[in-house]
Structure 1
Amino acid sequence: MMYMRLKKNRNSVSSHGATTANVKRYIDYASLHGFDALLVEGWNIGWEDWFGNSKDEVFDFVTPYPDFNVAEIRDYAKQKGIKMIMHHETSASIRNYERCMDDAYRFMKENGYDAVKSGYVGNIIPNGQNHYNQWQVNHYLYAVKKAADYKVMVNAHEAVRPTGLCRTWPNLIGNESARGTEYQAFGGSKPSHTTILPFTRLIGGPMDYTPGIFENDIHKLNPDNHSWVNTTLCNQLSLYVTMYSPLQMAADLPENYDRFLDAFQFIKDVAIDWEKSWYLEAEPMEYLTIARKAKGKDEWYIGGTNGEQPRTSQVDLSFLPAGKYVATIYKDGKDAHYKENPQAYTISSQKVTPKTRLKIWTAAGGGYAIRITKAE
């Protein structure tokens, strides 16, 4: 599933965007570009008094703001072929969430929501508990099992790192559970970060990393925030291949994608689930290149993610079956740099075979993405 998000600014009530009109605009955009679903944050009352206040009862998970018409949005999304994903921010008040959980899941099903993104931002309530102790780990399992009772898919953020639980409870479609893209707005992660996670965090299960950021300067979105996304645009494209999840997000604003529609095409094309994967080259903290075959299709995708040092990647296509193919290559421009020129990229196509060896230069904090299809 590929989804988009209408995100609330967690530190600003005035930035409330979860209005019926705005959600419809996002539904239209998601439908136009072939996405499966839309997640809306900030739809339910309580956001004006939630963070850092250690309040036990903040959200009830069934009461929308007056300008968020649940039924109207439900019907409009269905008409456009878009599934809606519910958002449950608990503000780390676990007792309150468990008290409300049955009502919340019933409300979801009554309104056509089959998936929930849950969040656990803040210090755990009751005091003395934390995100990783046994009491809280038991809660995560309880939430997944309760969701299964209602046939609800769970994508948990700020939860404990998974250890294969999704094999027993496959409705746990993914977790964040490490520094995802959101942390780029909290001072930024190092460019090497995503060359490490596939060998650490992702061993436990799929990660909802939320890639796809095309605008690096967070200040343009929030004048009080001077953070910077420490990757190039093509590095962001590569993450759809290297950071495995059957649930992927296009995490930027529609207006930023509209500025780079040719690069946005890769996000629209890239597969979500895979039949087979090949790790072509890797040095944690430095670089990582992965190739994958799309499930049920004669399409192959390659993602190359680079750390701090520019380098030339060696891409061996011998994993391809015998035949002739066309490779569409999205790569850093010759003057690209994650800090100085992150939006410099080129797109080219060339004929390839299993004997082809590609040499692709990647910038500092850069990367590349390749789509391979059979030649006509």
Structure 2
Amino acid sequence: MKKWIAIALTMFTVTTNAQKIESPDGVVQLTFEVKDSIPVYSVSYKNQPVLLKSKLGLEVDNGPSFTEGFGIKDFKVNHADEAWQPVLGEVKQIRNHYTELIVYLAQPAYQREIAIRFRLFNDGLGLRYEFPEQANLNYFVVKEEATEFALPGDAKAWWIPGDYDTQEYNYTTSKLSEVPRLFDKSYDGNASQTIAPGTLQTPLMMKTDNGFYLNFHEAALIDYPALHLSLDADRFVLTSHLTPDGQGKKGYIQTPFHTPWRTIIISKKAEDILASRLVLNLNEPTKYENTDWIKPVKYVGVWWEMIMGKSTWSYANINNVHLGKTDYSKLQTNGTHAANTNYVKKYIDFAAKHGLDGVLVEGWNEGWEDWFGKSKEYVFDFVTPYPDFDVKTLTNYAKAKNVQLIMHHETSSAATNYERHFDTAFAFMDKYGYKAVKTGYVGNIIPRGEHHYSQWMVQHYQRVIDKALQHKVMVNSHESVHLTGLHRTYPNWIAAEAARGTEYEAFGGNNPEHTTILPFTRLIGGPMDYTPGIFQTQLDYYFPGDKRFVQTTLTKQLALYVTMYSPLQMAADIIDNYERFPDAFQFIKDVAVDWDDTKILSAEPGDHVLIARKAKGKDEWFVGGITDEQARTLNIDFSFLPAGGNYEATIYEDGKNADYITNPQSYHIYKKKVTSKTKLVARLGRSGGVAISIRKI
């Protein structure tokens, strides 16, 4: 029975009784109540506590807070069970099945109302705040969000430090109680960096002492600052911490409005975390009327050799460029500029020969000589090529070979300059037939004082997607905000970097465990352009005495095409190295990048990942398995194959003596007849892998 309590001298009738709901399968339970006028909730899994009573609310900069003084005005329980198909994805169809509780809260002292919406899935929870339009609440500024996640005890976590400008860090594995001691050792330098002491970034992956795997993140980040989590390591309580702007404000809100979802994925199995579609389901369906132009892309590019220092983005050896005034035609080239017409033709030829879709070219446009670290606003105009880059000739050459050129827009983090050039930049892409663009945001944001993850920049990334939609262009954003499932709503946001990718192998290295953690963290929010496929892993091949090396075996680089989901996949190495190892390169040629089905065969964050995927529209499967710095044996069960079918598997495995330090290019390839009853034992070297291509006989 609902109990109503009248509050004197107000227009509101409120109640404080608890409301409880269960997930559709009854496994996850949520309890909400107003306790001492403060909204709190708790979560359990099969009646075992996952989150203890945790406070909810927001603090306001220009008015009374939304953290206390509440009563329940009303509530509503809804149920949903539907299926939808992603434009591009890991599975052909996704079930969206949840129980929903909407609690309407009244704050009598200020004659205000808000609602908190909970959606409880079989594998977790999403919650958000909703602010209806009302007389006493039309505009306010968020000082901080006060959403708590109170854990029952200490937990093992895979984490990177809170930073308002970058996620490009190796992960630290520790107990939550150990984070304060390790925090200052958990990060290295970056082109733009603003550490938020005592906070951790999302997605945040944990494993509790009683065997629960928990993943904390957000979904549908629109018009709001990105989420971090402040840690109270003594009480094991995480609290929302939003990215500020240059004035220290968090969010400027006009009602009606709702926040992004705060998400918790819960399971007793690590594999279920990777299989979860909870974050995607909390995003809105796409409103695009036509998505036929949004297609998966496998590409090569003029990039890796510049990253490792073999060639340059810049055309000339100068350091004082005035864009539009500096006459490059009168300058002598530095001799190391890779984005030149003849060299790019070689990449187009290679892509055409091997059936790849596209070629990315960085460093094609004027301005690269004079910008890094200078907070210089007008660096690029996004339409003026260097003298040795003939856009028209290359466009026609690529078109004749059925290869698409991929545009590169490095903004130098001058977001205002990029927006001023939107129309001309995208018109240029229309003119020359570019259908995809890689955007970049290296350096500190302009407008100065903003951060990569502040509300204004979140709005900016959305404006880029909207502008790209007008021109039917797909976007791959680098140095952008973490993804939150928005590729469901905006499927032309085809991929992003937003984490420490392969380029860091040339800068200082990614730990061998890095790619066994990223599927549990960064990829929870959406596809990552990790840029795998480096075959020449030891850089002393180019620079005698150079100690840098990519910390994987060659076979692990193949497996990443399966374990690191993206419908945009780069064969990132210099093409000469693929010509040196044509039998291994065959897997990159064959592997799909869009999928009908995905099976998580085995996984443990920081240890290993083993995944099987079915190619879109084909009776072909691909398997990828990777390990950390420990050599490992993986038992592969082929029961994911249809019963009764006969298949041929091509297995790419580490050689007997393969090792990411001493013998990274040792591999063995063989074929084997397989069925759904086949079991295979694969031995992986240190930081090694196994990749399997399976076709029906």
**Do Structure 1 and Structure 2 share a fold, with TM-score over 0.5?**
yes
2:666 maps to 1:338: no
> Shift of the alpha carbon at 1:186?
1.0
Aligned pairs for 1:244-283 within 5 A: 244-283=565-604
Cα RMSD (Å): 1.3
Partner of residue 185, structure 2: none
> Shift of the alpha carbon at 1:227?
2.2
User: In 1, Cα distance between the equivalents of 2:351 and 2:646?
Assistant: 33
CA contact (8 A) 1:250 1:267 kept: yes
1:215 aligned partner, one-letter code: Q
Structure 1 pair 106/222, CA: closer, same or farther in 2 (3 Å)?
A: farther
User: In 1, Cα distance between the equivalents of 2:537 and 2:366?
Assistant: 31
1:308 aligned partner, one-letter code: E
* Secondary structure at the counterpart of residue 598 of structure 2: strand
CA contact (8 A) 1:157 1:176 kept: yes
1:176 aligned partner, one-letter code: E
Unaligned ranges ≥5, structure 2:
1-296, 315-333
Partner of residue 308, structure 1: 629
Partner of residue 78, structure 2: none
CA contact (8 A) 1:185 1:225 kept: no
295, 306, 318: which one aligns with 1:9: 306
Aligned pairs for 1:151-162 within 5 A: 151-162=472-483
> Shift of the alpha carbon at 1:219?
4.1
> Shift of the alpha carbon at 1:182?
1.1
Name which of structure 1's ranges 225-234 and 96-105 shifts more when overlaid on structure 2.
225-234
User: In 2, Cα distance between the equivalents of 1:124 and 1:105?
Assistant: 22
* Secondary structure at the counterpart of residue 24 of structure 1: helix
Partner of residue 505, structure 2: 184
2:328 maps to 1:32: no
User: Which is richer in helix?
Assistant: 1
Q: 1:91-111, CA deviations, whole angstroms, 9 ceiling, x for partnerless residues?
A: 111111111111100001111
Partner of residue 74, structure 2: none
Structure 1 pair 145/221, CA: closer, same or farther in 2 (3 Å)?
A: farther
1:9 aligned partner, one-letter code: M
Q: 1:122-152, CA deviations, whole angstroms, 9 ceiling, x for partnerless residues?
A: 1112221121111211111111111111111
Aligned pairs for 1:94-243 within 5 A: 94-221=415-542, 226-243=547-564
Unaligned ranges ≥5, structure 1:
none
* TM-score, scaled to structure 2: 0.53
Q: 1:77-120, CA deviations, whole angstroms, 9 ceiling, x for partnerless residues?
A: 00011011000011111111111111100001111111100011
User: In 2, Cα distance between the equivalents of 1:34 and 1:232?
Assistant: 25
* Secondary structure at the counterpart of residue 239 of structure 1: helix
* Secondary structure at the counterpart of residue 534 of structure 2: coil
User: In 1, Cα distance between the equivalents of 2:407 and 2:546?
Assistant: 27
> Shift of the alpha carbon at 1:223?
6.8
> Shift of the alpha carbon at 1:203?
1.1
Aligned residues: 375
Structure 1 pair 258/285, CA: closer, same or farther in 2 (3 Å)?
A: same
- Identity value in percent: 60
Give the number of the structure whose alpha-carbon radius of gyration is greater.
2
User: In 2, Cα distance between the equivalents of 1:9 and 1:219?
Assistant: 15
1:319 aligned partner, one-letter code: F
Aligned pairs for 1:356-371 within 5 A: 356-371=678-693
User: In 1, Cα distance between the equivalents of 2:628 and 2:482?
Assistant: 24
User: In 2, Cα distance between the equivalents of 1:223 and 1:89?
Assistant: 31
Structure 1 pair 21/45, CA: closer, same or farther in 2 (3 Å)?
A: same
* Secondary structure at the counterpart of residue 167 of structure 1: coil
User: In 1, Cα distance between the equivalents of 2:542 and 2:444?
Assistant: 27
1:341 aligned partner, one-letter code: N
Q: 1:255-303, CA deviations, whole angstroms, 9 ceiling, x for partnerless residues?
A: 1111110000000000111100100011110000000111111101000
> Shift of the alpha carbon at 1:18?
0.7
* Secondary structure at the counterpart of residue 27 of structure 1: helix
* Secondary structure at the counterpart of residue 372 of structure 2: coil
2:494 aligned partner, one-letter code: I
> Shift of the alpha carbon at 1:228?
1.2
Partner of residue 326, structure 1: 648
* Secondary structure at the counterpart of residue 81 of structure 1: coil
Q: 1:191-228, CA deviations, whole angstroms, 9 ceiling, x for partnerless residues?
A: 11111111111111111111100011234446796421
> Shift of the alpha carbon at 1:54?
1.4
2:385 maps to 1:55: no
Q: 1:148-188, CA deviations, whole angstroms, 9 ceiling, x for partnerless residues?
A: 11111101011111101111111111101111111111101
2:671 aligned partner, one-letter code: S
User: In 1, Cα distance between the equivalents of 2:441 and 2:542?
Assistant: 24
Partner of residue 290, structure 1: 611
Q: 1:341-372, CA deviations, whole angstroms, 9 ceiling, x for partnerless residues?
A: 10000001111111111000001100010011
1:201 aligned partner, one-letter code: R
User: In 1, Cα distance between the equivalents of 2:547 and 2:422?
Assistant: 37
CA contact (8 A) 1:311 1:361 kept: yes
CA contact (8 A) 1:276 1:292 kept: yes
> Shift of the alpha carbon at 1:316?
0.5
Partner of residue 127, structure 2: none
348, 355, 364: which one aligns with 2:677: 355
* TM-score, scaled to structure 1: 0.97
User: In 2, Cα distance between the equivalents of 1:348 and 1:223?
Assistant: 34
2:434 aligned partner, one-letter code: Y
User: In 2, Cα distance between the equivalents of 1:105 and 1:371?
Assistant: 38
User: In 2, Cα distance between the equivalents of 1:26 and 1:135?
Assistant: 38
Q: Which has the higher contact order (CA 8 A, sep 6+)?
A: 1
Partner of residue 178, structure 2: none
Q: 1:15-60, CA deviations, whole angstroms, 9 ceiling, x for partnerless residues?
A: 3111111111110011001101111000000011121121100100
